[in-house]
Structure 1
Amino acid sequence: MTITTVHHVPYYSQWESADLVPEFVSGTRSAATDPRWESSGAESAQEYAFWAPRMCGMACLRMALGHFGQPVPPSVPLVREALAAGAYVRSGDQVQGLIYAPFAAWVRSRWGLVAEARPELAVEEVDAEIAHGRLVLLSVHKNIRTLDPQPAARSGHLVLAVGSGLDHISIHNPSGFPEHSQQFHHVPRADLGRFYAGRGVVLAAP
C-alpha cells in the first residue's frame, strides 16, 4: 500500500472525561468520581462506573455514527440497547461482549448502516475497507495505547481503524491517553500483530 487514507472521524472516549483516562486506567481515580459522568446518560455514578471500563465498543459506535451523519446518543443508553439486542450479555458483575453478530444486526436494523461481523479479517483487508470509505472496529489488547512490547493477549478491547498508510494503521482508541494515543494514533504495522486478534466489524454508510 502506498497511499495514506484518513477519515476525519469524531473522537469519543469510553469515559466522559477523556483527559482523565490515565487516572481511570491506573486505578488512581474511580470512574464514579468522573465530573462529567451525567453526560453518559447513566442513572447514577455507580452505573456509569460499572460500564465505563466495558464500553469501548459503544465509544467506537458513537464515533462511527457521528462520521456517517447519524445522531450520537449518550453512551449508557446505547449500552442498554446493546444489552437488549444481545450484543452484551450480563450476569451479575460479569459481562460477555461485545458479541459481533448481534451487534452488527442491531446496527443494521437501528440505523440502516452497513455492518458486517468479520471473524477473520487480515490487516490487508482492513486497508481495503478503509480505502473504500469504511471504518473498522478491531479487536486488540488494551495495551496498544502504549505499544507494550509484551501484551498479555491479542484481544479484550476495541478500537476504531480510521486510516491506513504505508507503515501504519491509524486508530481512534476509546481508552487511549490524551495527546498520545486517543485520536489518529499511528500504530506501526510492525507492532500491530502483537495486539490485533485478526477480527472485527466493518461499518459503512448504506
Structure 2
Amino acid sequence: MDTSPETVPFFSQWETPDMTLAVLADGADVALRRDPLWRGSGAETPDEYAVWAANICGMACLKMILATRGEIVPTIDLARRCTRYGGYVVNEGSIRGLIYAPFVTFVKAEFGLEAQVMTNVATSDIPAILARSRFFIASVSSSIRWPEREPPSKGGHLVLVTAASDDGFRFHNPSGHTSATQANAVLSPADFDRFFANRGIAVTI
C-alpha cells in the first residue's frame, strides 16, 4: 500500500464529525437534533437532518469522491437527488437505501462518474479493483470503527476505500468515532475481511 498521505478529503455523515458516540448513546433522532452544524447538510430542518444523516453513509462517500475533484455538495442535497433516481425509498419517515443500481445511474447522469456494482467480491480482489478504478465503496459492518471487536454481522454501512494492498487497506469511514477511525483508517486485509460483506461499488472520476 502506498504510505504517502492520502489526498482524498474526509467528510463525516454528520456535519459535526465527533457526533458518533452521542448517536450511539442517545440514538440518531435525539443526538442529531443537537448538531449545531446541521444546516450545512442541506436539510431544511433539524428533524429532516436527523432522519437523513443516519442513512447517508453512501452520500458521504460520494461527497468525498466529488471533493477530490473540487466539488463540494451537501450530503442531503446529494441524497435528495439520488432519491429521484430510486437510490433511496422514503416512506413515512423511514428511509431504505442506498440501492446500488440506481446510484450508478445517478452518478453517471449527474456527475459523469463511471461506477459499477460489484458482488461476490473477495477481500483479496479489492487491490485489483482499485488498480482499475479510483475508489471502492465497500459494504461493511458499522462496527468496523472498533476493529478489535468481532462484528455482529457484515454489511449495513459503507466506507470509501482509497488504497489497498497485501499490507493494508486504507479507507475513510463516514461514522468513525475518533480521528484514527475516520480519515485514512488502516486495517490489515484479514481484519478488513471480518467486516466486509463482499459487495460494493467501484467508482472512477
1:17 matched to 2:19? The reply is: no
Structure-2 residue corresponding to 1:103: 103
TM-score, normalised by the number of residues in structure 2: 0.92
Q: More helix by proportion, 1 or 2?
A: 2
Deviates more, 1:129-138 or 1:45-54: 129-138
Query: Displacement, 1:70?
Result: 4.9
Look up the equivalent residue of 1:119 and give its one-letter code.
T
Contact 1:5/1:163 (8 A) holds in 2: no
Query: Displacement, 1:95?
Result: 1.9
Structure-2 residue corresponding to 1:150: 150
Look up the equivalent residue of 1:138 and give its one-letter code.
A
Structure-2 residue corresponding to 1:113: 113
Q: CA separation in 2, counterparts of 1:23 and 1:177? A: 10
Deviates more, 1:169-178 or 1:118-127: 118-127
Q: CA separation in 2, counterparts of 1:111 and 1:125? A: 27
User: What's the Cα RMSD here?
Assistant: 1.7
Structure-1 residue corresponding to 2:62: 61
Q: CA separation in 2, counterparts of 1:191 and 1:126? A: 14
Structure-2 residue corresponding to 1:4: 2
| Change in CA separation of 1:88 and 1:81 when aligned onto 2, cut-off 3 Å | same
Contact 1:136/1:201 (8 A) holds in 2: yes
Look up the equivalent residue of 2:186 and give its one-letter code.
H
Gaps of 5+ in 2: none
Contact 1:5/1:130 (8 A) holds in 2: no
What SS class does the counterpart of residue 36 from structure 2 fall into?
coil
Q: CA separation in 2, counterparts of 1:90 and 1:5? A: 41
Gaps of 5+ in 1: none
Please give the per-residue CA displacement for 1:60-92, whole angstroms capped at 9, x wherever unaligned. Answer: 00001111x152211111111111110011222
What SS class does the counterpart of residue 199 from structure 1 fall into?
strand
| Change in CA separation of 1:88 and 1:154 when aligned onto 2, cut-off 3 Å | same
Aligned residues: 202
| Change in CA separation of 1:155 and 1:94 when aligned onto 2, cut-off 3 Å | same
What SS class does the counterpart of residue 198 from structure 1 fall into?
strand
Contact 2:60/2:174 (8 A) holds in 1: yes
Look up the equivalent residue of 1:151 and give its one-letter code.
P
Query: Displacement, 1:133?
Result: 5.3
% of aligned pairs identical?
Answer: 36
Q: CA separation in 2, counterparts of 1:130 and 1:60? A: 15
Please give the per-residue CA displacement for 1:83-139, whole angstroms capped at 9, x wherever unaligned. Answer: 111001122233221111110111011111111111232223311232345101000
